[in-house]
Structure 1
Amino acid sequence: MNPEPRYRSIAADLAEKIRTGHYAPGDALPAQRDLSHSYGVTLMTLRQALRHLSDEGLIVQQAGKGTYVSPPHLAYRLGSLRSLADDLREQGHEVRTTVLDRTLRRPPSAVAAQLGTPALRLERVREFAGRPAVHQVSWVRKPFGSRLRTVDFAAESLYAALADAGVSVARATETIRPDVLDETVAAHLRTPPGTPVFVSDRVTYSLDDTPVVTDRAVILGDMMEIRATRAATGLSLTWTGAL
């Protein structure tokens, strides 16, 4: 029986240290020369182990800066009619919300066509694992938006606030597409323009099928994975080609 290649045993040991918290998400690993010395192998063997960990998504190697443990990924569940923050908190993640804007104003024409004008504009940044990860702009139809102007959205979700205001939501339509950060959102997320992102556009409807909220969330691509549970009577997914 052939012995396991040395680089695989090193990769397994480092992976175990990452999973048990010896190296926490975002931590820098020791320098490659230090690691190769501690494991008693050449730099070439050590780099094979690091490539294996990188392929597994456990580490991120940054040229000229070093090797870091990958941050944990948020899971965006397509099948739930709840806020993004509520989804993440249910998964055990701590989410910090910063409210950037909450004003009653005239929305863009596409939003005004659905909600009328004026509407409540709610702009928020979601921070996860100590890093801004999601920029979100929501517009709320005026009769409901006017009731929400004093809500502490740093602590309460928009859907919960709507429920407290007596608004029952029935369904939502959502489109998710890949894009890159523009300069304005990049500044809010403290990430370079051009970074890959997911863009979610959602419209939420009340029981009488009136559009109540339009929402655009820009989500850093390296902080999110999208999950869906398929069932015969559950979530319906439609796949379309990119234009």
Structure 2
Amino acid sequence: MVDRNSHVPIYIQIEDIIKEKIAVGEYIKGSSIPSERELSETYNVSRMTVRQAITGLVNSGLLYREKGRGTFVADPKFEQPLNGLTGFTEDMIARGMEPSSDIVLFEKQLPSFEIKQDLGLNDEDEVYFIVRIRNADHLPMAIERTYIPAKLVPNLSKDQLSGSLYQLIEKEYGLDIHNATQQMEAAIVSKEDAKYLNVGQKAVVLIIKRTSYLSNGRPFELVRSVYRADRYKFISEITR
């Protein structure tokens, strides 16, 4: 119950109560939680306080609202380690999920100056530009925009992209993927990506820009990934 003598704000206490009920299985994934009116009566607090608690849990991805229907328990977020170099397909298979991709665009093009700089290309070098929606169990999780130097993977075709791109590069082209550098930031989803990811136009997304390198130090891939923030959280182990 709510402790009115606690230094912890009441709306935070209600958040914690709802979190605990989800953790013990009283509120299960996909089920609705009690209405604001019911919760305000149960804990003898104002509806504004309850709404503040629920909004906090919605923003953190633990709950989601459906207009005219209520508030529901969301699927748990995927934990994505930041200390390993794996592809989306490998990650989803490791979790026991079925990965798939919808290829939005596949073309060979001359890259922009920024892309040439990141990939160490000359003015005449072309890249394969690939835009893919990445799905897990048929639900959109991310959209990836990938640039790969065409001279490293000659005759790459759209039909080859149904599975893991990393496995394709290593097995079919005999290239040794070694390391990567990446940058991560939060942003409001663009109108185009909101459509691809099936989220609202004000949804928060996680954007990762990653440049990957072969064992000889040569960059072979630049990818800008936009992840649904309500489905992903990134974790990192740090040792002193």
User: Above 0.5 in TM-score?
Assistant: yes
What is the CA-CA distance between 1:187 and the residue it aligns to? Answer: 2.2
Q: Which residue of 2 aligns with 1:79?
A: 83
2:6 corresponds in structure 1 to: none
Contact 1:18 1:69 in 2 (8 A): no
Equivalent in the alignment of 2:182:
174
Preserved contact between residue 101 and residue 132 of structure 2 (Cα < 8 Å): yes
1:111 aligned to 112, 115, 122, which one? 115
Equivalent residue runs for 1:1-243 within 5 Å: 15-17=23-25, 23-24=28-29, 27-29=30-32, 32=35, 42=41, 51=53, 55=57, 58-62=62-66, 64-113=68-117, 114-116=119-121, 117-128=125-136, 130-149=138-157, 151-154=159-162, 156-164=163-171, 165-231=173-239
TM-fit CA distance, 1:16: 3.5
> Do the aligned residues in 2 keep the contact of 1:205 with 1:211 (CA within 8 Å)?
yes
Change (3 A) 1:214 1:44: same
User: For the structure 1 residues 151 and 145, does the alpha-carbon distance in structure 2 shift closer, same or farther, using more than 3 Å as the test?
Assistant: farther
Which 5+ residue runs of structure 2 have no aligned equivalent? 3-13
Do 1:103 and 1:122's aligned partners in 2 also have CA atoms closer than 8 Å? yes
User: Would the alpha carbon gap of residues 66 and 139 (structure 1) be closer, same or farther in structure 2, given more than 3 Å must change?
Assistant: same
> Which range moves more in the overlay, 192-201 or 163-172?
192-201
Give the residue type in structure 2 aligned to 1:92: G
Deviation at 1:101, TM superposition (A): 1.7
Unaligned 5+ runs, structure 1: 233-243
Q: Give the conservation status (yes or no) of the 8 Å contact 2:77–2:230.
A: yes
- The 1:91–1:231 alpha-carbon spacing in structure 2 relative to 1, beyond 3 Å, is farther
Percent identity between matched residues is 16
Compared CA separation, residues 147 and 45, structure 1 to 2 (3 A): farther
Cα gap change, 1:57 to 1:82, in 2 (>3 Å): closer
For 1:139-197, what per-residue CA distance to the aligned partner results, in whole angstroms no more than 9, with x for missing partners?
Answer: 1111223243255323x111111101101112111111111212222222232333211
Amino acid at match of 1:144: L
Does the 8 A contact of 2:61 with 2:229 survive in 1?
A: no
Residues 77-110 of structure 1, C-alpha deviations (whole Å, 9 max, x = no match): 1111111332233133333321112221122221
RMSD of aligned C-alpha atoms? 3.5
Residue 62 of structure 2 contacts residue 76 of structure 2 at CA under 8 Å; is this kept in 1?
no
Q: Deviations over 1:171-230 (max 9, x none)?
A: 111111111212222222232333211111111111211111111101111111011122
Q: What secondary structure does 2:154 align onto?
A: helix
Partner Cα distance (2:20, 2:145) in 1: 42
Instruction: Give the letter aligned to residue 77 of structure 2.
Output: H
Asked whether the 8 Å contact 1:135–1:218 carries over to 2, the reply is yes
Code of the residue aligned with 1:181 in structure 2: it is V
CA distance in 2, matches of 1:102, 1:9: 48
More deviation in 128-137 or 68-77?
A: 128-137
Q: Distance in 2 between matches of 1:77 and 1:10?
A: 27
Go from structure 1 to structure 2 and tell me whether the alpha carbon gap of 1:160 and 1:17 turns closer, same or farther (over 3 Å shift).
Answer: same
